[in-house]
Every structure is written in structure tokens, then in C-alpha cells.
Structure 1
Amino acid sequence: MANSPKSILAQRIRDGEFITAPGVFDMISARVADSMGFPALYMTGSGVVASGLGLPDAGIATYTEMVSHAARIAGGISTPLIADADTGYGGAVNVRHTVRGYERAGVSAIQIEDQAFPKKCGHVDGQKLVPLEEMLTRIKIAQDCRDSDDFLIIARTDARKAAGRDEAMRRCEAFAEAGADILFYEAPATVEEMRDIGRSFDLPLMANLVEGGATPVLTPAELAEIGYQLAIFPASGFLAVTEALTSVYQGLRDHGASTATGTRLYDFKDFVSLMGFDEIMEFENRYE
């Protein structure tokens, strides 16, 4: 469908539009981000695992947990959703099942990486890679099993931390030749390294900007200038929420007031409206 979220996102990328996608991890963050007018949102694996399971991003979440979460988010927003699918959750058949499931769930672009199971967050240590040929098979399966070419395949390499810059570049070159739609070189350490990546590839490049992580956090304008077309900010939301909750709960514990530490609270009436209560009331009134 020409006006589906995935077709809209695919066309924006083909037109050369820069895509800024904030990280969302639950329905509150998704509703807030959806109301802001971004061209895309990014379902962050780290955020989903942390908020849903209270655990680190270490390959613990299952395909079923992640695709169910993606379906809830995609079904509750109008903005195209890019979603983290980790390693594809297994072998060839699992990757096929993952790609088909994410597309049916309403996701607009799927991110698959070259880590071995169990994977690790890309901005900590401990990543182990699968052989390059195995990752190329994942990309090939994703191409063959998607229903539409508008369902974009983002191929991520974690080789930078696991095997060095040369191997990361070699893998990105192979991903491009294999037909990935977007390249994701994880964890470049300097602006100059990012600039080198930007001038090395013709495909759209995605930057992963984690505040306090391994990669310099640049503005969209700075990224576009050095050759990137997409920027995800996966941690911004859950780091902000964690800081706000810590402050509010400290105020309640120490002073008996949620605002004692100076934290501003979202207006309750606005929150009720954001969650769609006005539409519920209107619908019920129509049948009374």
C-alpha cells in the first residue's frame, strides 16, 4: 500500500530525507514520541528488555516477547516504526520467521546484526561475531522472505568492538553487496571514524547515538554533513525516565512530596488525553 507506514518511510529514505528516530520502549514512550512529528520511531531492544523484564540487553528476550511488543507499539502509533530484531533469534528458519513476523506486526524496517547468540548491547564489551557468511545468509533470507521491498532491511555489524575497524568496514562492504537497504556500523569511536564511514558507502547509513555510549553524539545536521541519513537515539527516552523517576521517588521518600526535588510532572489531564481517553468518551456517548 502506497500510504502504509513502511511505504512512507521507504520513500522518504529514497528521496534522501534525513530520518531522526527517538527510541521507544513501551506504550507511554511510543505515544509521546508519536505525538511529536518524527519521521520514524525506533523500538530499542535495550529499552524493551530493561522496561519489560528488568534485565540487561544480553540476548535474554525471546522472539515472541519482542515481536509482541513491536506489534503493540506499531498498532498504537501512526509513525513508521524501525525495530531491533537482534540476531534474528536463531538459525535460517528462525530468521525467516522473525522477518515475516515483524512485517506482519506492522514494523516498517527491521534491524538484524552479526553477533552470535546470546548477543550483547553494542555499547558495552563482550560481543562475539558469527562468520561473515552466516550474516550474509541472514540478509539474503530477509530479502527473500519479506512481502514488500518497502520493508527495509538494516544490516548491523558489531565488528568494531569485537574485531576492529578493518573487519567492520569489510563486513559493511559485504552487507552492501548482499543487498542490505541500510548499513549500521555500530560503535565508531570518533567523528573522524564516522566521517570515514560516511564517505565509504553509497547506501544510507544509520548512526546509533547513545548518550554516554561509545559513539560521539552529533546533531542530525552534523551527521548529514558527513554522509549519514538516519540517526537513532535509543537511550534518550529511558535514561530521561530513569532520571525523572529517581528524582520523584527521592522526593517522596525524603520529603513526602513528588515535586520536592524540583522535577516537573506531566499534567494529568494531558496524560489522560494522550492515552486516548477523549476518544473513548466520544465513542461511548455516541451509543448512549
Structure 2
Amino acid sequence: MKTILFVLLLLTAPIYTFAQENSTSAVSQNEDKTYIEGTVLNASTDKPLDGVNIINLNTVKGTITKADGTFRLRASSTDTLYFSFLGFKSLQIRVTNDWKRFGDVKVKMTETGIALEEVVVKDVELTGYLEIDARNVPVYKNVRYSISGLETGYEAGDSQPGAINKVLSAIFNPADFLNKVFSNKGSQMRKLRQMKEDDNIRDLLITKFDRETLSALLQIPREDIEAILGRCDYSESFVKTANDLQILDALSSCYEEYRVLNRDRG
């Protein structure tokens, strides 16, 4: 009996060892394939760029390049990476099997000219009399309307006094722009919460005001972002002056309130 068991152990040991080796190899290959590496360079000088923001638009995770321009980020084939750096044209690059196969890839970014718009500052003439000056200094009223059951409300600028009626009509009207965007872009809008959880993305959005990164992350044109906030009755002054993180919060709030009202309707 002992002889039979010994023979069986001898026969099964190679199979077990082979399976274990295959499993270890597969895990190892899997781990290698979950990360990609590359170097970001200035296209005109071939010098490395330090501090380039790189975001995986599919996983909503980001990183930044080191002093030598190198980066390492978790990604799969067909994922799209978004490269953003001040003074350079942003890039969207699809991850391919070749990238994973050959390892370090050189990504070259092109400098862009920054055109500053002319800013006209209108002087406010002060007389020294508080009662008169108080009437002359412009006051911008941005009013927030609250709805029972919701934690936050809606903001209305000078030209948008009907905040509640406008938002409610958007939800109850299937043809309304807000309804169309939120119903067709549900997966993108759900990324909003993920974006704020990533330190690199959050730090990037604080410094940006061009909505370009948000547009890439949400796969929504900049015009649609502004239109969404308009339909949710955020004031024009807020839309123009807020940084991208504040806009992200506003979009998230608008979407969550839309979901609550839409659920209550059903």
C-alpha cells in the first residue's frame, strides 16, 4: 500500500509543480501587464518634462512625471491616457499591446503660445460718502434656491430668476438638454466621485480653469459642461471664475440632485 501511495505521489508531483509554476508565471505576467512606463519629452528640445499630469481616462487614476520625465501608471490595452502640462498642447494617447510589449515609450508634447485676452478694468469713482458710494459700487447677486429633501440648492444669477421651475421642467421633460445629457452620460457622470478620490487629479483640477481636463475625463464638450451648469442654474459669474475642481463639485451636485428628483418622479 505504501509503495502504491509513493508511486502516486511521484506521478502527481510534476503535474502540481508544473501547474504551480504556470500559475506563478501567469500572475507575474499579469502584474507586469497592469503597469505601463514611458518618458515625456519636449518635442522641440527632446528634454524631459517634469511634473506632467497623466490621467487614465478609463480608470480615472493619475500620476505625474518625475524630474527625468519618466512615469509609471496602471493601464490596460485600449485604455486612453490624457497628458496635460502648462504651456503645452494636451494629448490623448491610446495604450496598445506594442506599448506593453516594448516597455518605455517616448511621448513628445508640443509647446503652445498662450494668448492673453485683454482685460478691461472699470474704475469705480468714490465720493467719500458711504450712502452714495454704496449705490455706485456694483453688486452681483447670486441666489441659491433650496428644495426640501435635498442637501444643496440651485444657484441663479441676475438673468436666471426661475431656478426651481427651470430644473424641474428639465427633469420632467424628456426632450430637455439636461435630461438628455444625464441619461446618456450616466457612466461618465458617475466618474465624478472617483475623480475626487485621486490626489493627483484633485490637485490638478485646483490649478486649472479651462475645463479641458474635465471635458476629457467626462467625454463631454466644454460647451456642454457650461450648458449643464446653466440648466442647473449656477450663475454665469460662477461658471466663468470657478476652478475645475469647483466645477466638478457643481456638476456632481447637479447630477445627484437630478437623480434624486428623477427617482422621486418614478
TM over 0.5: no
Q: TM-score range by the shorter chain?
A: under 0.3
- Length-normalised TM-score, structure 2: 0.22
- Length-normalised TM-score, structure 1: 0.21
If you compute each CA radius of gyration, which structure gives the higher value, 1 or 2? 2
